Structure 1
Amino acid sequence: MSLRYSILASGSTGNALYVESEEHSFLVDAGFSGKQMEALFGQIDRDISKLSGIFVTHEHSDHIKGIGVLARKYHLPVFANEKTWRAMESSLGVIPTEQKFVFNMETVKSFGAVDIESFGVSHDAAEPMFYVFHHSGKKLVLITDTGYVSDRMKGTISNADVYVFESNHDVQMLRMGRYPWNIKRRILSDVGHVSNEDAALAMSDVIGDRTKRVYLAHLSLDNNMKDLAKMAVTQTLEGCGLIVGEQFGLYDTDPKIPTILTAV
């Protein structure tokens, strides 16, 4: 059995990724209430109590809203780096010390045959980091919430089998939209979120021979649309010589509906 995954939900209202091997299962972020998280797990017919751990990317509420509730109710270990722990502890409520684990940036933790590698991104959080899952020669990458994708990040995430990749906004929709200018400036900055086109340009540098699936994630409800994101990313990738639908598939994610459990 290889890794299997479901993007439980992705968007500006909340984010959560489920990954499992034959021996372990993992949740990256829980940006919804405990009840909503339980409903999402029900849609993929999986048991939250079986999780080997919850892995935190950063302390923003659309990534941690349900972590405290799930950790207490199901006695789950929670992994985050030290700065993220300090930034989010007051939001999570009391979690028993024996359930709190430090997972520092640019390190690897192993769970049986699964190696989970952490790497830093550029976002306005205490010490934001995302994850690469390695199992039996397969590689699954989650990268959202970054203002740009550096060469260092590209080196870590290159030539993965599956990418869950931020494609947050259409620049024109954002500039013309209802957000106040200080919020627009934050999103467009190097510690904000990548646009459809910038995401595609970064993808063009990391997609490799083994890449089979790319999921467009963390779409803004106000400043993007699924069809627009897919069209913009496809056009940019094809301009870089990468043929969507032939070399790899390009897929949507949803803010409320999980993707089907899929093997890497």
Structure 2
Amino acid sequence: MVTAQSDRLRYSILASGSRGNSTYIETPAHRILIDAGLSGKQLELRMTKINRSLKDVEAIFVTHEHSDHISGVGVLARRYGMAVYANQGTWVAMQNKIGKIDPAQKHLLEPGKVKDFGDLQVESFAVSHDAAEPQFYQLHHDNQAFCILTDTGYVSDRIAGVIKNADGYVMECNHDPEMLLAGQRYSWPLKQRILGTEGHLSNEDGANALMSVIGNRTKTVYLGHRSHENNTKSLAHLTVASILTAQDFGVDHDFALKDTEQDEATSLLSL
């Protein structure tokens, strides 16, 4: 058990993008990671920059088996003895990718279920992505909610209902469709995959999803999982801000609209 200075939920988005993803969450009693898609060394460096240590992290919650979400899972589990939570489909799909883990560290959390740590509840929900059984998470502490939702082709009414009116969001704004289609590096099948219902949200898709979930409690929105090849930070931010403002959402008035980075952790902030 650990003690934090704040009694609120605190977080840092350690990395968000197509080359690696991980988010740190802490409450007064618990510290966890959502995904560990960077090397162990990189995650250690990011944690040091927010004055935190991986030695205090109890568990990793895995969203799906793609390498940009699990590349550090096995290393951290073995080095620090962290528990690892994932659903059955994800465990089967990633077991040969993360190396051997003590069976006592392996835990199941199926879609639609909640893991209750006392002062932290981790709620899972299924998404539409080209992985075995992808799911994302909403974190709850003392009537606060922080939702992470990337790597999905669309946001259904079911998902919107689950995550509506959270205090904070990390919402996918992966690509600009015109940049994606005009690019030379991606094959046509890969472009189709990204644009499909099991792919990724575009900037406009992310904005539309946000309009369906932002409520009067929402104070902070991060734009996440931005493609290095098919998007830019300024374009994603401008697109989302323009769409939300046109529909009378109080961008940077009722809530802050912020960006995430692939190569730099956000500050450790209270929700």
SS in 2 for 1:2: coil
Aligned partners of 1:143, 1:240: CA distance in 2, in Å?
22
In 1, the alpha carbon distance for the partners of 2:162 and 2:109 equals 17
Inter-partner Cα distance in structure 2 for 1:236 and 1:158: 19
Query: For 1:180-195, what aligned pairs fall within 5 Å after superposition?
Result: 180-195=187-202
Deviations 1:130-160 (A, max 9, x none): 0001111111000000000000000011000
Which contiguous aligned blocks of 4+ residues in structure 1 show a shift greater than 3 angstroms? none
Shift of 1:243: 2.2
Matching residue of 1:213: 220
1:41 to 44, 47, 52: 47
Match of 1:233 among 215, 240, 246: 240
- Letter of the 2:248 partner, please give it: G
Q: Does 1:78 align with 2:104?
A: no
Question: Secondary structure of 2:222's match?
Answer: strand
Q: CA deviation at 1:67?
A: 0.4
Partner of 2:20: 14
Query: Unaligned 5+ residue runs, structure 1?
Result: none
Residue 31 (structure 1) shift? 0.6
1:36 deviation in Å? 1.0
What's the secondary structure of 1:26's corresponding residue?
Answer: strand
Match of 2:172 among 159, 166, 171: 166
**Residues 112-261 of structure 1 mapped to structure 2, 5 A cutoff:** 112-178=118-184, 179-261=186-268
Return the alpha-carbon distance in structure 2 between the equivalents of residues 30 and 144 of structure 1: 14
1:90 aligns with 2:96: yes
State the identity %.
Answer: 52
Q: TM-score, normalised by structure 1?
A: 0.99
> For the residues of structure 1 that align with 2:41 and 2:119, how far apart are their CA atoms?
31
CA RMSD of superposed structures (Å): 0.6
What is the CA-CA distance between 1:41 and the residue it aligns to?
A: 1.0
Separation of aligned partners in 1, 2:243 and 2:127: 22
Deviation at 1:33, TM superposition (A): 1.0
Instruction: For 2:119 and 2:62, locate their aligned partners in 1 and report how far apart those are by CA, in whole Å.
Output: 21
Q: Distance in 2 between matches of 1:5 and 1:20?
A: 6
Q: What secondary structure, in the 3-state scheme, does the structure 2 residue paired with 1:58 have?
A: coil
Segments of structure 2 that go 5 or more residues without pairing to the other structure are 1-6
Q: CA deviation at 1:239?
A: 2.0
What one-letter code is carried by the residue in structure 1 that aligns with 2:242? Q
- Out of 109, 123, 132, which is 2:115 matched to? 109
| Number of residue-to-residue matches in the alignment | 264
TM-score (norm 2): 0.96
Residue-by-residue CA offset, 1:6-61 (whole Å, 9 max, x unaligned) = 00010000000000000000101011111111111111111111112000000000
1:65 counterpart residue number: 71
Distance (whole Å) between structure 2 residues aligned to residue 113 and residue 4 of structure 1: 12
